[in-house]
């Protein structure tokens, strides 16, 4: 099946489509991870984006549904240099895409597309899969889709209703769900926590009525400044509950304190990002974000305690007096070492 990927700058590439015929449009982003492609594709933070893998071959071990981070693929589409037709284990990626109505393109120069993204920044893109696909239509789709900064994406990935998961005598954790990943729940439950998961727009008094020991704000898609309801909730609970945040949760906590965020040129996405903690330790982290906290905007008393060693951007902060502890990276993902998971979740849950 023919497929065409078009960018808003007029660039287009023709490749082999996999999955089903159809079309979609959204921001084109790339990830540098070499494994964990299904964890990435099912991460709700990729909602509204077309995900491109820089590693030249994906699908080697097939579709491992036990490692899905949500109920299914959240990225709008997949872009790859090559997908494995007959993996060593599990079902092939192409077949999974076809059975679930998903779109993908392979056989394209992902290196050139990645270099272009690094030079120009993340661009809107359109993907058309089908023998009638044309570059003109793919570019037209790219130019027609609203920028990520103009889309409200969190309501579609947040839980529609509260639910609770019993623990083993650990702390009572209220989770404000902006698109939670499965591994976050695993990290909480492994430490005995009792977890209550709340929709993104839950008022603060409803959360407090559950009598939690702390508030945990999750990852999520899109521009944090559009998440006005969660920011209001977090702001109201500052000083009333300890607050922990990951990725989008980190950004919303900063906004609730009066800080600011900004859109990065092409973001951080991959499993090998070095982060230095204030005590000198280096964590090799997994990341997925296109927005970041402006460290200089944080109020007095906030310690920008984590920094990305590649570009110096903020990777988290602490406000000890208010019991706020947030990171931009994903400690629950632990692409290899588990030290960042232990560091973050043990500090939250007392090492249980």
pLDDT of residue 351: 56
330 is catalytic: yes
User: Where is average pLDDT lowest: 171-185, 216-230, 329-343?
Assistant: 329-343
- Confidence bin at 273 (pLDDT 50/70/90): very high
SS3 assignment, position 183: helix
CA dihedral 198, 171, 332, 101 (to 10 degrees): -30
CA distance 28 to 49: 6
pLDDT, tens only, 292-304: 999 999 999 999 9
Q: Tally the residues of the chain.
A: 352
CA-closest candidate to residue 317, choices 329, 334, 335: 329
Rg (CA), the chain: 20
Name the CATH topology of 154-349: Rossmann fold (3.40.50)
8 is catalytic: no
Both tokens of 123, joined, read 């661009």
CA distances from 185 to 141, 193, 195 (A): 37, 9, 8
Q: Which residue has the higher pLDDT, 274 or 352?
A: 274
CA distance 272 to 210: 38
- Considering the candidates 247, 315, 326, 334, report the single residue annotated as catalytic: 247
**205, containing H or E segment:** helix 204-209
CA distance 51 to 349: 33
For the chain, domain boundaries = 2-145, 154-349
pLDDT, tens only, 40-53: 999 999 999 999 99
CA-closest candidate to residue 103, choices 223, 213, 250, 3: 3
- Considering the candidates 27, 315, 332, 341, report the single residue annotated as catalytic: 332
119 is catalytic: no
SS3 assignment, position 143: helix
Whether 352 has a pLDDT exceeding 60, the answer reads: no
Residues 260-277, mean pLDDT to the nearest whole number: 95
pLDDT, tens only, 159-198: 999 999 999 999 999 999 999 999 999 999 999 999 999 9
Both tokens of 154, joined, read 């969190």
Orientation angle between helical segments 182-190 and 339-349, nearest 10 degrees: 60
pLDDT of residue 86: 82
- Considering the candidates 268, 325, 330, 334, report the single residue annotated as catalytic: 330
Q: What is the largest CA-CA distance in the chain?
A: 61
Residues 57-66, mean pLDDT to the nearest whole number: 92
pLDDT, tens only, 63-114: 999 999 999 999 999 999 999 988 877 899 999 999 999 999 999 999 999 9
Whether 211 has a pLDDT exceeding 70, the answer reads: yes
Q: What percentage of the chain carries pLDDT values higher than 90?
A: 93
pLDDT of residue 338: 83
Backbone angles phi, psi at 181, to 5 degrees: -90, 145
Residue given tokens 């906590």 in the structure block = 253
pLDDT, tens only, 148-162: 999 999 999 999 999
pLDDT of residue 85: 85
Q: Under 8 Å CB-to-CB from 296, ≥6 apart: which residues?
A: none
Instruction: Give the mean pLDDT of the chain.
Output: 95
**Among the CATH numbers 3.30.450.20, 3.40.50.620, 3.60.40.10, 3.50.30.20, which is that of 2-145?**
3.50.30.20
Give the end-to-end CA distance of the chain in Å, rounded to a whole number.
Answer: 51
Q: What percentage of the chain carries pLDDT values higher than 70?
A: 99
């Amino acid at each position: 099946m023919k497929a065409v990927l078009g960018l808003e700058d007029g660039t287009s590439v023709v490749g082999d489509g996999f999955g089903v015929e159809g079309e979609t449009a959204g921001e084109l982003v790339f990830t540098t991870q070499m494994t964990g492609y299904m964890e990435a594709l099912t991460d709700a933070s990729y909602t509204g984006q077309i995900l491109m893998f820089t590693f030249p071959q994906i699908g080697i071990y097939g579709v491992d549904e036990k490692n899905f981070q949500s109920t299914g693929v959240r990225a709008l589409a997949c872009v790859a240099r090559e997908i494995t037709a007959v993996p060593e284990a599990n079902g092939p990626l192409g077949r999974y895409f076809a059975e679930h109505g998903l779109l993908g393109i392979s056989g394209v120069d992902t290196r050139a597309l990645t270099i272009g993204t690094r030079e120009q920044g993340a661009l809107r893109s359109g993907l058309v899969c089908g023998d009638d696909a044309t570059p003109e239509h793919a570019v037209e789709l790219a130019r027609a889709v609203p920028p990520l900064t103009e889309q409200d994406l969190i309501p579609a990935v947040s839980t529609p209703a509260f639910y609770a998961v019993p623990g083993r005598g650990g702390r009572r954790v209220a989770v404000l769900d902006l698109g939670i990943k499965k591994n976050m729940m695993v990290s909480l439950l492994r430490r005995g926590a009792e977890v209550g998961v709340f929709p993104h727009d839950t008022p603060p008094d409803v959360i407090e009525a559950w009598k939690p020991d702390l508030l945990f704000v999750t990852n999520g898609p899109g521009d944090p400044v559009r998440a006005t309801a969660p920011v209001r909730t977090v702001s109201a609970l500052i000083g009333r509950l300890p607050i922990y945040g990951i990725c989008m949760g980190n950004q919303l906590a900063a906004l609730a304190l009066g800080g600011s965020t900004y859109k990065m040129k092409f973001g951080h996405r991959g499993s090998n990002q070095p982060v230095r903690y204030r005590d000198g330790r280096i964590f090799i982290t997994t990341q997925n974000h296109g927005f970041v906290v402006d460290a200089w905007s944080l109020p007095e008393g906030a310690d920008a305690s984590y920094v990305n060693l590649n570009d110096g951007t903020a990777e988290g902060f602490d406000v000890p007096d208010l019991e706020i502890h947030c990171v931009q990276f994903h400690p629950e993902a632990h692409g290899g070492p588990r030290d960042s998971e232990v560091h973050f979740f043990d500090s939250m849950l007392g090492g249980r």
